Amino acid sequence: MTNSQTPIHATAYWTTAREHGELRAEEVPAPGPGEALVRALYSGISKGTEMVVHAGAVPPRVAEEMRAPHQEGKFPGPVKFGYLSMGVVEEGPQEWKGQRVFCLNPHQDLYVVPVASLTRIPDDVPSQRAVLTGTVETAVNGLWEAGPRLGDRIAVVGAGLVGGMVATLLRTFPLQRLQLVDLDPGRKQLADTLGVDFAHPDDALADCDIVFHCSASQEGLARSLQLAGDEGEVIEMSWYANREVTVPLGEDFHARRLSIRASQVGMVSRARRHRRTNADRLDLSVSLLKDPVFDAFLTGSSPFEDLPKVVQSLADGSLEALCHVVEYPSGAPEPAPAAHNPENSR
């Protein structure tokens, strides 16, 4: 047991200045009532948002709204940011000890959080795959926002992590048509793995009931408006941070009575907000990860000690990734989940 007077020595990743991050040693207090000490096994780098933080590009007007749940410091830095962590509870309430959990926590090897902020990982979800819980949650919220219907024609513009997640969930819906749209022909391999039709923006089919825009580019948004059918809706899931974006409202937008609606994961979608909590949404999201198709999004891994240079490599484009996994030194053997087909995990 940890002595309540003995601080816990931990290491965390901090963005200390624009385009610079480092690992810092810090002391964590022992868990109090209703809290748990979590030993991280893996965390995931959410490339889009974390690269914005790395670049110091979080707009001051929304700095508070864009705080991660367990963030420390303020934008542009020094700031401890991240939200795709999974690990094992080492200390805390008896019913939580030894549990594999997901937490919206920054990159840190040991941390103390309220047990209310932990999501239990089902036995049939492998540990590495569980880091995707937070991005599945983003996709779930987008689908709740849009409310796709039987027989819909849908396009997802942008085959990155979020767009790929949206397409992955939609592929099980009874739709008339679903296309994953991207400029990069290499994304066809991802679409084929997901079992989803792939199209270059020039070849994508129009007259869609719903278009999910996830490319974070003004060209992608413009094409999304063209793909939406009359009185159709574009669900905007991109975050442009401090970039200015031109939207061609003089073309299809007014003439065809189109709508653009934002989806942001910080709050449960309005359509479900009165009947679902954030915890409910996370429980649903982690349960969906029993499907081994999600392993397609885990595109590389590195040890925790290499995280500063990995973030820089992602930022300058020398390392390509959908979700890059951070592996933490293990102080004890990882508890084995229930038996599952070894082909279902990476």
Query: Do 217 and 105 reside in the same domain of the chain?
Result: no
Place of tokens 């964590």: 28
pLDDT of residue 175: 98
- Size of the chain, expressed as the number of residues it contains: 346
Q: Clarify whether residues 56 and 96 are in a common domain.
A: yes
Residue 339 pLDDT > 60: no
Note the pLDDT of residue 331.
47
Q: What is the CATH number of the domain that holds 84?
A: 3.90.180.10
308 and 234 in a single domain? The answer is: no
Determine what percent of the chain is predicted with pLDDT higher than 70: 94
Q: Is residue 194 part of a domain?
A: yes
154 and 110 both lie in a single domain:
no
Domain holding 202, by residue range, is 146-262
Same domain (yes/no): 257, 297? no
Task: Identify whether 248 is part of a domain.
Answer: yes
Q: Give the pLDDT confidence score for residue 241 in this predicted structure.
A: 87
Q: Is 283 among the domain residues?
A: no
Query: Phi/psi at 30 (nearest 5 deg)?
Result: -65, 150
- Report the chain's C-alpha Rg in angstroms: 20
Cα torsion angle, 215, 218, 221, 222, sign: negative
Instruction: Judge if 33 and 78 occupy the same domain.
Output: yes
Banded pLDDT at 158 (limits 50, 70, 90): very high
Classify residue 1: in a domain, yes or no: no
* Residue 260 predicted with pLDDT over 90: yes
The average confidence (pLDDT) of the chain is 93
Q: How many CB atoms lie within 10 A of CB 46?
A: 24
| Total structural domains within the chain | 2
pLDDT reported for residue 131: 98
User: Is residue 226 located within the same domain as residue 151?
Assistant: yes
Q: Which residues contact 172 (CB under 8 A, 6 or more apart)?
A: none
Are 80 and 154 in the same domain? no
Q: Is residue 275 in a domain?
A: no
Together in a domain, 220 and 300: no
Is the domain of 115 the same as that of 158?
no
- Asked which of 220, 247, 262 is the last residue of a domain, the reply is 262
CATH number assigned to the domain comprising residue 258? 3.40.50.720
Which residue, 246, 262, 278, sits at the end of a domain?
A: 262
Written as one string, the DSSP assignment of 140-160 is HHHHHHH---TT-EEEEE--S
pLDDT of residue 334: 52
Residue 274 lies in a domain: no
